[in-house]
Amino acid sequence: MNRSTAFPVALTGSRDRVQMWADETEVEQAALQQLRRVAALPWVHGVRVMPDVHVGKGATIGSVIAMNQAVSPSAVGVDIGCGVAAVRTSIRADQLVDLDLLRASVESAIPVGFNAHDELPKLRRFGMEAGVDKLFGRFGSLDEKVQKLKSKAVGQLGTLGGGNHFLELCLDQEDRVWITLHSGSRNIGKTLADRHISIAKSLSHNRGLVDRELAVFLEGTPQMDAYKHDLWWAQEYAAASRALMLALFKNAVVNHFEALHVQFDAPINVHHNYVNEEQIDGRNLLVTRKGAIRAGAGDLALIPGSMGTGSYVVRGRGNPGSYFSASHGAGRRMSRSQAKRMYSANDLAQQTTGIECRKDAGVVDEIPAAYKDIHQVIEAQKDLVEVVGHLRTILCVKG
């Protein structure tokens, strides 16, 4: 990333509707083409591109799209409500012991990959019973095609999944221990997203689109109402799932460091795949952030890098030029398949030296080299966020 470039810059061929906090020459052509196609949609007010930008399905990851009385489900992504959570603990670096045993305890408490909880009642001891019951009490109002998935959705609440999702223990610059995690809405969010994307593609006003993946719903229609209803539920589910995992993680930490009487600060819990109704340039618009966070003035957030480079805790500057947004992470610089072709388990072990984590072939696609340099990504958006601190990963759980 060219640090000498003054951001933002307009994307060529976008009629200045796309403003980028990234060097166009360093972004894949497929991603640039996606951005131009989004900007050409008649409902789009503008597009803002974050420094972690890379190609996605339908809409680009690392993009913020403001639309007038319309929304594209693909501009949200299939992992509705995906986001991160973080909390600082009272533990100091010199008090850390037996991280291998702690990782085993966390993996036992929080199902990863395709695993799920056997039952939900045992999880309600963390004071979330009323919220959980209310959340699933509304399940019958969701799209009828997902009704059979209720038991699966219940079991997957408070579970990690796979891919780039993680549970981490980190150290800040004062050697204080942090708990961080990254997760989404699991299978139920993907199913709802796929269902509504399919419905949007069938609508007559979308039939002339160059890319039908960008099909939109229009305000005031029953299809839009149904999508927003399910969307808000999935975003709430994802946030509740992170809160539950954080509680389970904290419980594992408390039990592991029982003699320390561990204390925790207030948590950070933010979406980076979601829709919000906001005022942009003096207009009430629907804003989709796909791989981007809200960075309003004073907003605290976490911007993770990779399992070898840690994360940044940031505070939003409230820059209206970016639609009050910032990047959601480092962003991939190569696909998962490319990473698997280029790197081995030995490479992964070398790049994660000193970190208690999986180092096998099953997570080679998450190797740090597959991601952009998180430090450069943060540098490129100094006008969007203020750095509160850098967190160095010491333990990482992957699905």
Lowest mean pLDDT among 15-24, 120-129, 218-227, 254-263: 120-129
What per-residue confidence (pLDDT) applies to 373?
95
Whether residue 382 lies inside any domain: the answer is yes
What per-residue confidence (pLDDT) applies to 308?
80
What per-residue confidence (pLDDT) applies to 126?
77
Q: Model-level pTM greater than 0.85?
A: yes
Among left, alpha and beta (phi > 0; psi -120 to 50; other), residue 318 is: left
* % of the chain at pLDDT higher than 70: 97
What per-residue confidence (pLDDT) applies to 307?
87
Q: What is the CATH number of the domain that holds 114?
A: 3.90.1860.10
What per-residue confidence (pLDDT) applies to 122?
60
Annotated ligand binding at 272? The verdict is yes
Whether residue 141 lies inside any domain: the answer is yes
Q: Are 279 and 322 in contact (CB under 8 A)?
A: no
Query: Containing H/E element for 182?
Result: strand 176-183
Annotated ligand binding at 140? The verdict is no
pLDDT tens digits along 28-79: 999 999 999 999 999 999 999 999 999 998 899 999 999 999 999 999 999 9
Active site residue 328: yes
pLDDT tens digits along 89-135: 999 999 999 999 999 999 999 999 999 998 665 666 777 888 888 99
Please give the residue range of the domain that contains residue 213.
Answer: 9-333+371-398
What per-residue confidence (pLDDT) applies to 278?
97
Q: How many domains does the chain have?
A: 1
pLDDT tops 70 at residue 309: yes
pLDDT tops 90 at residue 1: no
At residue 273 the predicted structure's pLDDT band, cuts being 50, 70 and 90, is very high
Annotated ligand binding at 168? The verdict is yes
Whether residue 269 lies inside any domain: the answer is yes
Annotated ligand binding at 307? The verdict is yes
At residue 3 the predicted structure's pLDDT band, cuts being 50, 70 and 90, is low
* Mean pLDDT for all residues in the chain: 95
Q: Which of 261, 328, 375, 390 is catalytic?
A: 328
Annotated ligand binding at 328? The verdict is yes
Whether residue 195 lies inside any domain: the answer is yes
pLDDT tens digits along 125-177: 777 888 888 999 999 999 999 999 999 999 999 999 999 999 999 999 999 99
Whether residue 349 lies inside any domain: the answer is no
At residue 6 the predicted structure's pLDDT band, cuts being 50, 70 and 90, is confident
Sequential DSSP letters for 226-289: HHHHHHHHHHHHHHHHHHHHHHHHHHHHHHHTGGG---B-PPEEEESEEEEEEEETTEEEEEEE
Whether residue 32 lies inside any domain: the answer is yes
